[in-house]
Amino acid sequence: MNKELTAPAETELESTVPGEEEAAAAEETITSAEEQEVSAAEEPAAETEEQEAGAAEETDAAPAENAEPEKKYLKDRPTREQLERLAGEIRYRQRFRRTLATTVFSLVTVAAVAVLVAVLLLPILRIYGDSMTPTLQEGNIVISVKGGTFQTGDVIAFYYNNKILVKRVIAKAGDWVDIDDNGVVYVNNRRLDEPYITDPAFGECNIELPYQVPESRLFVMGDHRSVSIDSRNTAVGCVADEQIVGSIRFRVWPLSGFGKVGAEEEAG
């Protein structure tokens, strides 16, 4: 019986040896795994420390990098005197613009008023030709007055074939006009006193004399009778009221001839 019991004991001892080896291998595996975990934990920690150190370096370097632009900004910032001078220039420009706008507006207004007056009330005319010499010379600038009634001896301007002619009133509606061969003019059988005439002439006359002036018409003649084409010729005829621009009252150019024109001139 002792032999039977001893054999199994040896068998158990033999089987126990391999178990210890396995335990040792397991312990080694666990130790290796723990070392790997520690190593893995240390690596991120090291990387984190490096990142924090780099961030700290960048943070420390940032003020150094921004220091120079800040100094440049402080250096380029305008002074109080410069700002005041700039503000003064801006105010001056604004005043200049307002003054310029006001001046331009005033000039435009004056020009518009002058044009309206010239067109509606006091047309300004320039004389061309010599049909009114010696009273008016070519190049004279005269002012005419619209409206009113016209008397014998008045100088008037009137429209004729898209032109403006200037002549002297000789007779009015209903008057009888006659002219002798020497160019002497008679109105209603009375010789007309014409001190403004220097060279009387029969001129370009093709109407039947004596001639009665039609209703609402004026009989006109130029002062330079030998060259003037006027109411003595049917090409012009008598002047209707709607043709009249105005009565020539003043000569403004040349300055040496400045003054009144027409019946008032002779009366003076």
In a domain, 261, yes or no: yes
- Domain check: are 57 and 82 in the same one? no
Using only C-alpha atoms, the chain has a radius of gyration, in whole angstroms, of 60
- Domain check: are 70 and 90 in the same one? no
- Domain check: are 91 and 48 in the same one? no
- Domain check: are 255 and 146 in the same one? yes
What's CA 47's distance to the chain center, in Å?
Answer: 73
Contact 148, 178 (CB under 8 A): no
> Helical H runs in the chain?
2-76, 80-116, 263-267
Please identify every stretch of the chain with a pLDDT value under 50, giving residue numbers as ranges. 1-18, 38, 40-41, 264, 266-268
Question: Residue 25 is part of which domain span?
Answer: 18-77
For the stretch 2-31, pLDDT in tens is 444 444 444 444 444 445 555 555 556 655
In the chain, the number of structural domains is 3
- Domain check: are 184 and 69 in the same one? no
- Domain check: are 109 and 67 in the same one? no
Rounded distance between C-alpha atoms, residue 211 and residue 92, angstroms: 74
Long-range contacts formed by 106-113: CB under 8 A, 24+ apart: none
Rounded distance between C-alpha atoms, residue 82 and residue 218, angstroms: 77
Final residue before a domain boundary, out of 86, 121, 156: 121
In a domain, 161, yes or no: yes
The CA-based angle 74-78-79, given to 5 degrees, is 100
CA distances from 253 to 133, 134, 141, 267 (A): 15, 15, 5, 21
In a domain, 201, yes or no: yes
Q: What is the pLDDT of residue 154?
A: 92
Contact 189, 135 (CB under 8 A): no
In a domain, 66, yes or no: yes
Rounded distance between C-alpha atoms, residue 127 and residue 139, angstroms: 5
For the stretch 132-160, pLDDT in tens is 999 999 999 998 888 778 899 999 999 99
Contact 264, 160 (CB under 8 A): no
- Domain check: are 164 and 100 in the same one? no
Final residue before a domain boundary, out of 121, 136, 153: 121
Q: What is the pLDDT of residue 205?
A: 93
**Which residue in 262, 63, 242, 244 sits closest to 165, CA to CA?**
244
- Domain check: are 70 and 161 in the same one? no
- Domain check: are 130 and 202 in the same one? yes
- Domain check: are 189 and 227 in the same one? yes
CATH number of the CATH domain containing 257: 2.10.109.10
- Domain check: are 35 and 49 in the same one? yes
- Domain check: are 210 and 229 in the same one? yes
